[in-house]
């Protein structure tokens, strides 16, 4: 399973906003600079998080993003789904009914494809694991130095 880099970006931005406990919105440009990311593309990922209710967005010169919920109420799966969408990563095209299986009676295919069943089981385990972990869990597991370094960086004036 391959996820786009936007998932990583979204996760790190959410963690950063959680560490900052932002009373004021953090601009996209500032978040992008912190990770050396392209602001326009990052903004698209952040807007997906807003649409999912994970972030709030304030427009304007003093605008930016904040967490919409407390860190303990945002799961890793919430972020993945917001950025990647809810679709299943494995899609069975029923190729067993083509080629050597073409023309066989429908009864031959009454049971779901074994690969579809195995993939779905694995995907559900993956989703459960990500849904069981929150931003608060990640914050607790991260070194305190990472949180402090992040706070110090954001306290500095933005480079112009």
Lowest mean pLDDT among 1-5, 97-101, 121-125: 1-5
- Does residue 103 fall inside a structural domain? no
Could you list the residue range(s) of the whole structural domain that residue 140 is in? 5-86+134-155
pLDDT band at 90 (very low <50, low <70, confident <90, very high): confident
pTM attached to this predicted model: 0.87
pLDDT band at 160 (very low <50, low <70, confident <90, very high): low
- Does residue 20 fall inside a structural domain? yes
- Does residue 41 fall inside a structural domain? yes
- Does residue 138 fall inside a structural domain? yes
- Does residue 95 fall inside a structural domain? no
Residue % of the chain over a pLDDT of 70: 98
**pLDDT at site 34:** 96
Query: Number of folded domains in the chain?
Result: 1
> What CATH code is carried by the domain that includes residue 24?
1.10.10.10
What would the two tokens of residue 42 be?
């990052």
- Does residue 55 fall inside a structural domain? yes
Stretch 23-40: mean pLDDT: 94
d(Cα 44, Cα 148) in Å, to the nearest integer? Answer: 27
């Amino acid at each position: 399973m391959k996820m786009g880099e936007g998932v990583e970006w979204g996760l790190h931005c959410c963690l950063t906003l959680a560490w900052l406990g932002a009373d004021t919105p953090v601009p996209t440009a500032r978040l992008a600079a912190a990770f050396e990311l392209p602001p326009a593309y990052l903004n698209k990922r952040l807007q997906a998080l807003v649409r999912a209710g994970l972030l709030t967005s304030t427009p304007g010169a003093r605008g930016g993003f904040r967490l919409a919920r407390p860190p303990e109420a945002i799961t890793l799966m919430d972020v993945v789904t917001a950025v990647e969408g809810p679709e299943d990563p494995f899609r069975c095209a029923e190729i067993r009914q083509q080629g050597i299986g073409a023309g066989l009676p429908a009864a031959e295919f009454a049971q779901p494809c074994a690969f579809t069943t195995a993939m779905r089981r694995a995907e559900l385990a993956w989703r459960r694991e990500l849904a069981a972990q929150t931003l608060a869990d990640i914050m607790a597991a991260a070194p305190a130095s990472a949180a402090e370094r992040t706070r110090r960086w954001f306290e500095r004036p933005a480079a112009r």
